[in-house]
Structure 1
Amino acid sequence: MLTFDEKLSVITSFSELERKDVSLGRVNFQYNESVYDKKNVVYHLHPNGNGFVYAGHLSGYDTNDKGLVNIREFSQEELRTIIEQSINSLSHRPEHEMIEEAVIGDGREQRWHGPEGATLLLVHEDSLWNIYAGLNLEAAFESYEEAEDYLMDEGFSRLRD
């Protein structure tokens, strides 16, 4: 296990991260250029060597409900790799997120999955329930029940939040 100082050495080698001292001697490191509200890359690095790195947009890591990975037992190379990946994941939004953001705006939305991995968005806009496939309007309904019936008839099921 790396010591606190060894972990600090790896983390501070990333010039794009800004150190923020917090309580009990713990340290956060933020990526202020993040395209998400999430800015903490390193969270609560403790003098005992424990701490977390944000991996909420990454696969292959065992994250908690906040998208954080415990780095207590990480090697120098593992720590460097996850920090690089975390920064990269916060640097740009995947195309599907940008499309969804463009479609959803301020509307209430639900994601539905169906045959062959298809995903549709059900968005409440003004007084209608609109179904989108990407940027394309697939169908529009006056009530949620009508939209839900249509989606279920087409073999789609709602993803739970």
Structure 2
Amino acid sequence: MLSFEEKKALFVEYKELTPVPVSMNRINYHFESSAVDKTVIVRFLHQNGNALIYAGYLPKEETKNGYISVLDANENEIKRLLDKAIDFLKKTTDGYEEGYSELWFDHNGDVLRLVYDNPMWSVNLPDGKMEAIFKTKEAAEGYLLDEAFFKN
């Protein structure tokens, strides 16, 4: 089992996390770049070495209020959980990270880029100019398919 200081050192390695002291000498770590309202990735790092890491990507029955205890976790397990939490919170409620993009092609060799610009989807020309914008990915994909484009 890792100590309080060892876990604290692990969390400090993640430059995108901000430590926030809370009651009873515990520390929370916030992910301010979260694409959703949830920003607390590590809750209640306690002097006894326990902490809770955000796991909202798991089914509710596998977590306690969306968090997993790492009291007995080793360094690799903690890093894996932190990486998954950060990756998950980078995505919007739509499930896509800001700036996500896909290339679409037609049989003439033309290329268009479908880009997620929260909360909209844009279809962009190779020079970056916007050709069209849509409220949903499905609508944008429908447009591309109607124009005889396909995703490679």
Aligned residue number for residue 90 of structure 2: 91
Deviation above 3 Å: which 4+ runs of structure 1? 94-98
Q: What TM-score results when the alignment is normalised by the length of structure 1?
A: 0.56
**Is 1:49 paired with 2:49?**
yes
What CA distance in whole angstroms lies between the structure 2 residues aligned with 1:23 and 1:16?
Answer: 23
**Is 1:76 paired with 2:81?**
no
* Structure showing the higher helix proportion among its residues: 1
Q: RMSD of aligned C-alpha atoms? A: 2.6
Q: How does 1:112-127 map to 2 (within 5 A)?
A: none
Aligned residue number for residue 40 of structure 1: 40
Q: What TM-score results when the alignment is normalised by the length of structure 2?
A: 0.60
- Is this contact kept in 2: 1:18–1:32, CA < 8 A? yes
Query: Once the two structures are aligned, what percentage of the paired residues are identical?
Result: 29
Amino acid at match of 2:68: V
Return the offset for 1:93. Answer: 2.7
Aligned residue number for residue 112 of structure 1: none
Aligned residue number for residue 7 of structure 2: 7
Return the offset for 1:62. Answer: 2.8
Return the offset for 1:95. Answer: 4.5
3-state SS in 1 of match to 2:72: coil
**Is 1:17 paired with 2:51?**
no
- Is this contact kept in 1: 2:56–2:67, CA < 8 A? yes
Unaligned runs of 5+ in 1: 103-133, 137-161
Amino acid at match of 1:46: H
> Number of matched residues?
102
